[in-house]
Structure 1
Amino acid sequence: MSLRIERHIDLSGLSASVAAVTPEAVARAGEHIRGVSVSRTPVDTGRLSGSAAVHLDHQDGDATASITYDGPYARYQHERLDLRHETGQAKFLESALLSEADTALDMIATDLRRAL
């Protein structure tokens, strides 16, 4: 005696669901990192922290978020370790990215799991 069980699973919708959610998930994670970096940004007039923006690039199922600070002095404030700030710190964006990378990845993973 033999018993044979066949089951056919259509996974084509799975990748479409993940691809549809990916840009929003990456953007949300980028916004989280931007928010943390803004809280660490040196403040004089507030223009620098107000210029922080997340830019999303997505195509073919891939998504990339980049965070920028506008202004001629953004790089100067970020890179100069010898500057003293009453509010904020040098490396405000870099330190936020390093400290929040795991949280950002968890946010993306949570959104992708929901799509499944």
Structure 2
Amino acid sequence: MTRPRVTFDHQIPAELRAAGARGLLLAAEHVLGVSSDRVPLDEAALQRSGTASVDEAVMQAMVAYDTLYAVPQHERMDFRHAPGRRAKYLESALNDSVTEVRDVVAAQLRRALR
């Protein structure tokens, strides 16, 4: 059984697209803030490398940490961390922020529809 797909025959108005992109960026910045509070610390280079961005062409938000050890620190569950810091710092931040992410994007879209 195939799942139905929803498609649109018309373009999304530019104002709504811009509002959606703005909402995605604000939501990504929220996730970045939550993950920044969880990221393992030594000299804070990993924490400072965090960025949030949006690709408006495909309407996707990204949160990334850009150090050579960002992935091992995220994935290795056997590493020891200071209290409050942990592995899966980005994944857990996103999972714990689903409601806030949804609400931030929805608020920007509602604002554009007024």
- Fold-level match, TM-score > 0.5? yes
1:25 aligns with 2:23: yes
Q: CA RMSD in A?
A: 1.6
Q: TM-score, normalised by structure 2?
A: 0.83
SS in 2 for 1:65: strand
SS in 2 for 1:40: coil
Deviation at 1:30, TM superposition (A): 0.4
| Structure 2 match to 1:36 | 34
Deviation at 1:78, TM superposition (A): 0.5
Q: Distance in 1 between matches of 2:77 and 2:15?
A: 44
Letter in 1 for 2:100: T
Deviation at 1:16, TM superposition (A): 3.2
| Structure 2 match to 1:72 | 68
Deviation at 1:15, TM superposition (A): 2.9
| Structure 2 match to 1:100 | 97
Give the structure with higher Rg (CA). 1
Deviation at 1:86, TM superposition (A): 1.2
Between the aligned residues of both structures, percent identity stands at 39
Deviation at 1:101, TM superposition (A): 1.4
Q: Distance in 2 between matches of 1:16 and 1:45?
A: 43
Q: TM-score, normalised by structure 1?
A: 0.82
Q: Map Cα deviations across residues 6-25 of structure 1 (whole Å, 9 max, x no partner).
A: xxxxxx9x833212211111
| Structure 2 match to 1:82 | 78
SS in 1 for 2:95: helix
Structure 1 alignment gaps of length 5 or more: 1-11
Structure 2 alignment gaps of length 5 or more: 1-9
